[in-house]
A and B are shown apart, each in its own frame.
Chain A
Amino acid sequence: MKRALPALAATAALVPTLAQARNVTLETTLKPYGGNGAYVALYLTDAAGKYKGTLWMAGEKSKYYRHLSDWARASGARTAEIDGITGASVGSGKTLKISVDIADALIDAGYKIHVDTSVEDGMDNPSEVVALLDAASSGKVLNGEGYVKAFKVTF
């Protein structure tokens, strides 16, 4: 999935101009937990842990967003935060792959990508993966403690 991310462009200084941005691929593979599709939120915090913007929201019913509790608390669960960067929930064992343009200034600057997941009648896993936005860790696979089997950021 390749998106232009208008919301990101509008909100933060994530993409000052495309020339100074890097294309980053985020791959989230879920465990075969065998339930309904998982809601997955991918978002960014700065070095101080402050919410900076949402990269992707998998899952389209806003009434379930509060189950992505870290994301909901950080972002205020406002729909404006995810406008245009929302897709279907991710099925058991499936992989969510998205590409985003991220400003060079944010890379290797202590920024972190958080992954919150939640499944109906299952667990809520706030920040089950927290990955440093670090060019050196490109392609490194991280495991989540909830539904995420593997999370990989490729620069």
Chain B
Amino acid sequence: MIQLENISRRFRADEIETTALADIDLVVEAGEFLAVMGPSGCGKSTLLNILGTIDRPSDGVYRFEGEDIARAPEARLARLRRDRLGFVFQSFNLIDELTIRENIALGLAYRTMGSAEKRERVTAAMDRVGIAHRKDHHPHQLSGGQQQRAAIARAIVGDPKLILADEPTGNLDTENGAQVMNILTELNGEGATIVMVTHSPAHADIAKRTVHMLDGRILTSARRAA
């Protein structure tokens, strides 16, 4: 599904250039559940941003389902995100001014689809993560776990092929973290490809494969024993 070849990402601030990713090669197969681990500043989130097309590599080739998108026009990438990708963030990134239902519906805002179908999909997504009873509440009225479940519902409402989760349990307690991991496992079981950045070895163990990063490079890639 995903093929990265010699991907590098450098940031320049004034006179200083920082290399966040250096010559990354990575293949993610459809249906995989990949965990990315490593210390802070090792490039995990940068890698996830490039996979999610919200950041561009400085060098290298990024193929998504066979199409080289490293230098694709912005509009093409926006379409890709809209139709194929779902994002889950550590800090949820729900919009405070909108209710939970409206936040989830935002995942379909840029799609052409009848309002009845949108309503159905939103309801299904809410049911899927068990948040329907809080649909008319605003994010600040919910617990962290509930907010993250709502964020997952927003990520899956468009039925994405790839879900990118950046430390989805980072702001949650153990119980809520476990609930979120259960949902992600179920989604993976239903066919979604998941790439998850995490600091938690326990949660990484749930993934089918784990890559370890350090200083912008992939050190190891290990599959979980069946």
A binds B: no
B contact residues vs A (CB 8 Å cutoff) = none
A contact residues vs B (CB 8 Å cutoff) = none
